[in-house]
């Protein structure tokens, strides 16, 4: 059975509401094909205020045991750095619980060994991610 450790940029452990570079909190969950378990909250000093082109090592060190990172927004440089270091990166918005349930339903944890595909979630995509909360996603190779 596959298991995915995911980090969600959330200041309140309920809703994805932080950009990667300005995030202060990441909520960590272990997700498998049947359930999710909250692990802990991790705190980080924001990497930048606005646009930044480097200094992502602290975030990588904080999240190095995770497989996927869900944030409200992430810049190209930061996404590239995390992807090069083996992380799957997603832009998403919505309630963490709804997104986690959708990931379980989609069998997302089964696909944790696929190193060739990274997916970006963005609002306005074709498939609903979390029901009626307005979240949607679009899969794209990065």
Query: Residue 108 class from Cβ within 10 Å (0-12 exposed, 13-18 middle, 19+ buried)?
Result: buried
* Phi then psi dihedrals of residue 59, to 5 deg: -70, -40
Confidence label for 55 from pLDDT (cuts 50, 70 and 90): confident
Average pLDDT of the residues in 57-71? 94
How high is the pLDDT of residue 100? Answer: 93
Dihedral (CA of 91, 36, 118, 137) sign: negative
- Mean pLDDT for all residues in the chain: 78
DSSP state letters, 47-82: S-SS--SS--HHHHHHHTT-SEEEES---HHHHHHH
Dihedral (CA of 99, 100, 102, 108) sign: positive
DSSP state letters, 94-122: EEHHHHHHHHHHHTGGGGTT-TT------
How high is the pLDDT of residue 107? Answer: 81
In angstroms, rounded to a whole number, what is the distance separating the alpha carbons of residues 82 and 60? 7
How high is the pLDDT of residue 18? Answer: 93
pLDDT 10s digits, 74-124: 988 899 999 999 999 999 999 999 999 988 888 877 655 544 344 444 332
Query: pTM for the full model?
Result: 0.78
Q: Which of 24, 1, 17 lies closest to 113, judged by CA?
A: 1
Q: Which of 108, 20, 115 lies closest to 70, judged by CA?
A: 20
Q: Comparing 50 with 118, which gets the higher pLDDT? A: 50
Q: Residue 21, Cβ neighbours under 10 Å: how many?
A: 22
């Amino acid at each position: 059975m596959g298991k995915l450790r995911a980090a969600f940029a959330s200041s309140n452990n309920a809703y994805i509401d932080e950009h990667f570079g300005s995030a202060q909190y990441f909520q960590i969950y272990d997700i498998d094909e049947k359930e999710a378990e909250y692990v802990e909250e991790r705190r980080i000093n924001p990497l930048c205020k606005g646009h930044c082109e480097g200094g992502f090592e602290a975030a990588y060190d904080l999240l190095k045991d995770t497989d996927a990172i869900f944030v409200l927004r992430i810049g190209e440089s930061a996404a590239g750095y995390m992807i090069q270091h083996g992380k799957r990166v997603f832009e998403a918005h919505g309630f963490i619980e709804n997104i986690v349930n959708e990931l379980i339903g989609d069998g997302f944890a089964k696909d944790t060994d696929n190193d060739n595909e990274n997916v970006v979630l963005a609002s306005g995509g074709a498939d609903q991610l979390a029901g009626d909360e307005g979240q949607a996603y679009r899969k794209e190779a990065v």
